[in-house]
Copies of this chain bind each other. A is one copy, B any other.
Amino acid sequence: MSELIFIPAVICAFALLSTLLFNRYLAKHDAGNEKMRELQKHIREGAWTFMFEEARVFAVVTGIIAVILWQLFYWEVAFAFLLGAFLSMSAGFIGMHSATFANARVTNAVQHSEKKAFNIAIAGGAIMGLAVAGLALGGLTLLFLIFREAFNPATLTIESKAVPLVSNILGREINFIKAALIVSAYSMGASLVALFDRVGGGIFTKAADMAADLVGKAEAHLPEDDPRNPASIADNVGDNVGDVGGLGADLLESFVGSIISVIVIYLYVYVGRSNASISALLEQLGVPLGLSMQQYWWLLIVPLLIISFGIIATLISLIYIIANKKAKNLQATLMNGTRLSALLTMLFAFIIIYLSPMNLSVFWCILIGALAGIAIGYIAEYYTSSAYRPVKKLAEETSAGAAIGITGGMALGMLSTFIPGLVVAIAIVATYKLAGLFGIAYGALGMLSFVGMTVSVDTYGPIADNAGGIAQGAGLPEKVRKITDRLDAIGNTTAAIGKGFAIGSAAFSALALIVAYMWSAAGSAGEVTIPTIEMLSANPKIGATVIAALFLGAMIPYVFSALLIQAVSDTAKKMVEEIKRQFRRFPDILKGKRRPDYNKCIAITSQNGLRKMVLPAIITIILPLLVGFILGKYALAGFLIGALLSCMQLAIYCANTGGALDNAKKYIEDGHYGGKGSEAHIASVIGDTIGDPLKDTVGPSLDILVKLMSVIAILFASLFPSYPIFF
């Protein structure tokens, strides 16, 4: 095994160590008075309760799947799967800890210094960002170290295995590269937990939010986060569960997916390198045909190295942000820090590619990927920030009535798919031109290379938000709340860009995973060939099945989204009943003389959120298997592409419609078109409530949907028949 692998190993040990340092930094600060501590405790306990409940569900599901993987393939595959799932779960827990540990400390620090409070929130975010990146990388590195034999180039080959359970039915052995299965299983574990986290957390957070707004604000006329509202703690818990826990697992999953797609493609290319058309691919990368041992390892580990140095870049940028003394313009500091991390990551990537046996075309792919991601991020910001024309126009439309406003929001979201679509198409053509199928995978890696920074900033937001909630709940002076609101707003731009970025990178890395699937499917016949998928084939056994599968795939994201929206709506309805029950039963609650039963609200939301996440998750797991077994492996590629196309458009539409409606509301609350309490404001609240599940439940879950289906496809590729079973 090459000594290169120790570089990522050391860097992720370093990353994880630094999270401890950031945690000590947090612990040094005070969490404020008793009321604040109590609120923090409530939020923390609520979040832990939900996470543990969720983990119990995970344990059962992953256990079952691990046994299946073990029986079908090897114990190593099952182990890798469990490791991925465990680390993804851990990322959620660490994020939850840091966020609910930091929030009250931020509130307290606000009373002394804004910059100090900002630093605490950033430190809380940093724990999450570094943990996500460190764990993702650490797990992969661990797999390389433990299963080094499976990655050994001397023995790397397509293995055949007769699985008693399967081969009897299929009438053939199954063929795969073991190392590819190991990394895919790891990725599947991470993705599966991420989907659960996103769906479950997304339902929780938005149901709590909707219920709190519907009864608390609209009926009982309580302000946001008022402690008399029984749903207030659940709402704050939701911010952590959805925006922190869900987000961490989500980005860890993206991260892992983009790395393993490069690795899987590379493994197949390496094994099939004697094939003329495949060796042409290696040649395109500038790699000599007779790869030495050292060169083999270089190519395999390059993605890990790039990500490792992305972590270093993140760390440097975080220190820059915290150490920067100019407290005047915190927003600029945050933005500059993010820019710095992107810049440094690209610089490191350039050096790594330069040192590697590959030519610079691969670096250009990484750069194109990163630029495409940033461009899509900025477009999201343009369409959802009240600083630009679209949201201003939307606020004006909203002032003419809720219906015109919502219609306008939908149109805005639809229109905002234009540039991302164009950018992704151009990036695909350009990266492919530069480095063939590798180009697309490296483009995806480029988009995700500085994800640690994105996670840190994205976690900063909910921490500041929660700090505001605690200030309100603890009855701190208006001034404190003003500052926490300002801190919250600082992260908005960066977070909006990050959100758009996440969708763009999800689309690209899903495509990379689909390409990896195609290699796995093409390679499973015992020898490796370059994968091609005919949409309409002259081979009558394939015929129009791929097109039919495209239709099926394109429909799935809609159905999936519908289930999520209904889940949010149903859960919110249950919670509204509970809040009304408490108000009716104990009128003292509204007078502030009796503490509402927060836990009951949390319990209802938890139970419903967890119950409702099962069906969408099962659909995601079962469907690719069903399509693969019935329509065959080519059709499955069509299915995945169809799903990806729909997902990307729908995710952008949902995210930007929701984001714009949210900010149009805030813009009106800032005093435009009559400000708070005006007709326009009431209309904008309706719009915001509609946008909420779209942007925070549907959008993020769609990002994971296709990637999880693709990685399942990779794992089971060798089992699928070539042609539909009924042909």
Measured between beta carbons, the chain B residues less than 8 angstroms from A535 are 532-535, 546, 637-638, 641
Q: Is A12 interfacial (CB-CB < 8 Å)?
A: no
Q: Which residue of B lies closest to A546 (CB)?
A: B535
Q: Contacts A428-B547, A436-B543 given; indicate if A414 touches B689 (C-beta within 8 A).
A: no
Whether a CB of chain B sits under 8 angstroms from the CB of A397 is yes
Partner of A404, one of B410, B556, B569: B569
Cβ contacts under 8 Å, A339 to chain B: none
Instruction: Report the Cα distance A615→B452, complex, angstroms.
Output: 42
The residue from B397, B425, B440, B693 contacting A549, defined by CB atoms under 8 A apart: B425
**Contact indicator per residue, chain A 233-260, by CB within 8 Å of chain B (1) or not (0):** 0000000000000000000000000000
Query: Is the beta-carbon distance between A429 and B646 smaller than 8 angstroms?
Result: no
Q: Inside 8 A of A51's CB, which chain B residues have their CB?
A: none
A492 to B546, alpha carbons, bound, how many Å?
37
Q: Is the CB of A412 within 8 A of B562?
A: yes
Nearest-Cβ distance from residue A586 to partner chain B, whole angstroms: 23
Give a binary string over A387-408; 1 marks a CB under 8 Å from any B CB, 0 the rest: 0000000000100111110111
- The answer, yes or no, to whether A371 is at the interface (CB within 8 Å) is no
The residue on B at minimum CB distance from A567 is B411
Binds B, one of A65-73, A416-424, A603-611: A416-424
Closest residue on chain B to residue A410 by CB atoms: B565
Q: How far is the CA of A563 from the CA of B412 in the complex (A)?
A: 9
* A595 at interface by CB-CB < 8 Å: no
Cβ of A293 within 8 Å of any chain B Cβ, yes or no, is no
CA distance A308 to B552 in the complex (A): 34
Task: Check A357 for interface membership: any CB of B closer than 8 A.
Answer: no
Given known contacts A641-B547, A689-B403, is B425 in contact with A552 (CB within 8 Å)? yes
In the bound complex, residues from chain B placing their C-beta under 8 Å from that of A214 are: 400-401, 403-404
Q: A538-B530, A638-B535, A693-B407 are in contact. Are A645 and B543 (CB under 8 A)?
A: no
- Checking B407, B422, B432, B561 against A552 with a beta-carbon cut-off of 8 angstroms, the contacting residue is B422
The answer to whether B404 touches A406 (Cβ under 8 A) is no
A554-576 interface code vs B (CB 8 A; 1 in, 0 out): 11101101110110110011001
- Taking a contact as CB atoms under 8 Å apart, the answer to whether A537 and B544 are in contact is no
A411 to B616 Cα, complex, angstroms: 14
With A433-B543, A533-B534 known to touch, is A551 a contact of B645 (CB < 8 Å)? yes
A648 interfacial contact with B, CB 8 Å: yes
CB distance from A408 to the nearest CB of B (A): 6
Task: Tell me, in angstroms, the Cα distance from A322 to B341 when the chains sit together.
Answer: 76
A428 x B544 contact (CB < 8 A): yes
* Interface hub of A511, A538, A558 (most chain B Cβ within 10 A): A558
A84 at the interface (CB under 8 A from B): no
Give min CB distance, A110 to chain B, whole Å. Answer: 32
A515 sits at the interface (CB 8 A): yes
Q: Which residues of B contact A534 (CB under 8 A)?
A: 532-535
Q: Which of B403, B410, B537, B558 contacts A649 (CB 8 A)?
A: B558
With most chain B CB atoms within 10 A of its CB, the pick from A507, A543, A572 is A543
Q: Which of B415, B507, B545, B689 contacts A559 (CB 8 A)?
A: B415
A9, CB-defined interface residue at 8 Å: no
A407 touches B690 (CB 8 A): yes
CA distance A671 to B538 in the complex (A): 59
A548 contacts B by Cβ under 8 Å: yes
> Are B555 and A422 in touch, CB under 8 angstroms?
yes
> Which of B218, B420, B531, B689 is in CB contact (< 8 Å) with A536?
B531
Give the chain B neighbours of A690 by CB distance below 8 A: 403, 406-407, 410
In the docked arrangement, what's the CA distance between A414 and B645, Å? 16
Q: Which of B548, B565, B637, B648 is the one whose CB lies under 8 Å from A414?
A: B565
CA distance A440 to B436 in the complex (A): 34
Residue A291 at the chain B interface, CB threshold 8 Å = no
Partner of A408, one of B400, B429, B566, B686: B566
Distance (Å) between the CB of A638 and the closest chain B CB? Answer: 7
Does residue A642 face the partner (Cβ distance < 8 Å to B)?
A: yes
Complex: A686 Cα to B537 Cα, angstroms: 48
Min CB–CB distance A295 → chain B (angstroms) = 23
Complex Cα gap A554–B648 (Å): 9
Are A555 and B418 closer than 8 Å at their CB atoms? yes
When C-beta atoms are compared, the residue in chain B nearest to A397 turns out to be: B569
Q: How far is the CA of A551 from the CA of B372 in the complex (A)?
A: 14
Q: Cβ of A437: which chain B residues have Cβ within 8 Å of it?
A: 536, 544
CB-CB under 8 A for A421 and B552, given A428-B547, A538-B532, A544-B440: yes
Contact B641 A411 (CB under 8 A): no
| Docked CA distance A558–B410 (Å) | 10
A418 CB contact (under 8 Å) in B440, B537, B550, B559: B559
Query: Is A10 an interface position by the 8 A CB rule?
Result: no
In the bound complex, what is the Cα–Cα distance between A689 and B407 (angstroms)? 9
Tell me the A674-727 residues at the B interface (CB within 8 Å): 685-686, 689-690, 693-694, 724, 727
User: Do the beta carbons of B407 and A551 come within 8 Å of each other?
Assistant: no
Enumerate the 5 nearest inter-chain pairs by beta-carbon distance, A residue then B residue, closest first: A421-B555, A403-B689, A414-B562, A415-B562, A432-B544
Jot down 30 A-B pairs with beta carbons below 8 A, ordered by A.
A210-B403, A214-B404, A400-B576, A402-B686, A403-B690, A404-B569, A406-B406, A407-B689, A410-B562, A413-B562, A414-B558, A414-B559, A415-B559, A415-B562, A417-B559, A418-B555, A426-B548, A428-B548, A429-B543, A429-B544, A429-B724, A432-B543, A530-B538, A532-B538, A535-B546, A547-B641, A551-B648, A555-B649, A645-B646, A686-B686
Known interface pairs A533-B536, A551-B648, A645-B645; 9 further A-B residue pairs with C-beta atoms within 8 A, sorted by A's residue number: A214-B401, A402-B402, A403-B690, A404-B573, A429-B548, A432-B545, A433-B543, A533-B535, A554-B648
